[in-house]
Structure 1
Amino acid sequence: MTGLPPEAIGGIGTAILLAFIFLRVPIGIALSVVSIVGIYVLLGPRAAAGMLSEIPYDFTAHWTLSSVPMFLLMGFFCFHAGLTEGLFRLARYFLSWLPGGLSIASIQGAAMFSAVTGSSLACTAAMGRIAVPEMLKAGYDKGLSTGTVAAAGTIGSMIPPSIILIIYGVFVEAPIGTLFIAAFIPGVLTAVLYSVMVCIRASIDPSIAPKVNERVTTRDRLLAIRDTWPVGLLIVGVFGGLFSGVFTPTEAGSVGASLAFLISIAKRAMSWGVFKTAIIETLRTTASIFVIAIGAQLLTRFFALSGVTELLADFVSGQGYSQLQVILLIGVVLILLGMLLDPIGIMLLTIPVLLPVLETQAIDLIWFGVLMAKFLEIGFITPPVGLNVFVVKGIVGDLVPTHLIFRGIAWFVVSDAVTVTLLIAFPAIALWLPSVIGD
């Protein structure tokens, strides 16, 4: 309609999209507006109206996506019914004797909570309310106390059920169950490396994590196990069935939400207020994710019509970059974007551009999905927009300045860099378990 070549229109649209992002326009709105206007310019009003009516419905009607609200509902039921409050206490009773034991208990408690929620923010909020006051009371360094919880919450993006991996799988048409299985070992590895790092730091400088002198009896440990066994039952029931092939990831979400509801009733922790709050938060979070995802779907169509993705893939191929160089370049871009945007927005913004490049380079999409989730985890805690950091800040208020929280997460970012290096050097860390279970 303008006389410009499609590639030029795609380039202008990309520039406008980036301008919107830097102006802090909500990512879902920015993606949708740029895409619809771009399609209008390329093909005219009828095509733009047709895609606006077709793509949102086709995407939201995708059966696999029904697992998103179900896994979120499972997590919110567990959180608001208080089923996860004992996880930190359980980890504390078994790990507090270690150097930095309360910090390590927070990490392991967050890892366990991650198995019943796909939200990093929910994991951070739940563990922060319980663990941070305990660490500060014990005289732990303020940066370490808050940084531990902010970083540990990111494990919720890796250990199944990960909402990020569900959305990624839908977009690249990769099996969700395989992605979940592939992410399990890297998620555990993240928790282990965090714990080892804290243990080493606390051994070198005990002042940052004074030893907790408390007598924990076998009875205390057994009582803690008794209080938290329903969460263990939920985890085993959902993911045992999922990994053994008894039900699909979509069915796993429904089973998980139902089990969480029934367990809450059995423990007399379910009330109308808890039920209502969990439903509302699930609807709000799901709607936010879907708005962004619909915008990303529209952007994918706009880029395909304008030839931007093909042009980028040809450019990368023409440069002769190796797989490693491509992965490192993508990692830098994701981390930089992580300093400005929320992780789901980053993923949905970049996948339409990256997918043709990944296919051209013959990069395994399962392995890359796990690696991308890891890069996005780093974005949860890097300044200036470290969402988990501000969740923790909301919990501690004026007690801990924001700059101290960011300082506290620095060593965890170093641990994440080690995890990323291992994942790139040894792809089998992510791909071995799916190959075993698949066989």
Structure 2
Amino acid sequence: MGEVFANRYELVDPIGRGGAGAVWRAWDRRRHRYVAAKVLLHGDAHSLLRFVREQALRIDHPHLLAPASWAADDDKVLFTMELVGGGSLGHVIGDYGPLPPRYVCVLLDQLLSGLAAVHAEGVVHRDIKPANILMEATGTGRPHLRLSDFGISLRKGEPRLTDTHMVVGTQGYFAPEQLMGAEPDFPADLFAVGLVALYLLRGEKPDSDALVREFLTHGTPEAHEAVPGPLWGVVSGLLQPDPRNRFQTATGARKALAEAVELLPAPDAREERADPVEVFDQLGPLPAGFGPEGPLPPAEPARTTAPTAAAPTTGSPAGFGPPPAAYDPAYDPTPAPSPAPSPTGGFHLSPPAPQSPPTHTPPLEPVTAAAPPAPSRGPRIPPPPRAVTAGILTAALLCFAVGVWALTQLP
């Protein structure tokens, strides 16, 4: 189990680190999903103020990765964002090098779309670079980028946290006017977008200082061999050293890009190569104890079943006296088989044990208690047969009839 922050966010594993804090994959116990959690490394006043500014930015746009929630725990603070698994543009370039022009146009259009939404809120990003442009893990499908990291963004008119002679941002992606201490403005973000475009088309980080010198010395330089002319017209419009000659809005640059795409030549063999650009999942597997649906429950210890005593096979059950006199010696007191689980659910009886062939023993008649014996009256004479009794009765009747006739003959 990982560290639980503010009793809600369980930190799972680190997935990135920036100048102001570490980024973790975390489990949101309230919303039951994984999120990206940025934890500040230190709690000085400037970092906390930047944290407040970043987490206060609430812009819902498909190509932005703005903070979704925040929490504080003792001297630590964090804010969360959606978890994006495809890594950054740097990972894509590291895997494939220079990207096909049409593929780059799709990425630039999405980047300018998200940046237009930021500028519509009056916010200057000030740190546009490949590492802050994250990718959804779309495989070989249509790419989907998300502009992130608003830690040093500034709403126009808000006080700056640094002296005017200090430059805030990432070395190599500064606009010339930033180096001269100008107030942050939208064209500075657009200059950084032009540098990102060159990075995608050439496969290496551009030298912004050399570009500025070339623009100032020779005007707009010729397009690189890997950049088609119509697309170079848009990129060079983003890279003009003088901000007044540069695109003033992201919406204007996006419109020019759409027109340039219509003029691009048909895809060549390089763009139809056998290994299309694929945006891989860069997060890696979850650590032990975590699954796709969140933390796994602790494993239960294996249960052991205590052996049961065998039932007696002879004699009487415990607690009972000896068997009655009419006890059947063929009776088997072994308990009947218990229901066994069925593979399909429910139960079935276990097969009976083999038995010897049945014997035809007549059933035992029930045993009744004997009546008490009558008192003795001497030897008992058996009754005569029925024929003898009938003869005696006939003789008696004949004697009675003879006697009546003799009486009638007297004088």
Q: TM-score, normalised on structure 1?
A: 0.21
Greater RCO, 1 or 2 (C-alpha within 8 Å, sep 6+): 1
> 1 or 2, which has the higher helix percentage?
1
- Which structure's CA Rg is the greater one? 2
TM-score by length of 2: 0.22
Point out the structure with the larger strand share.
2
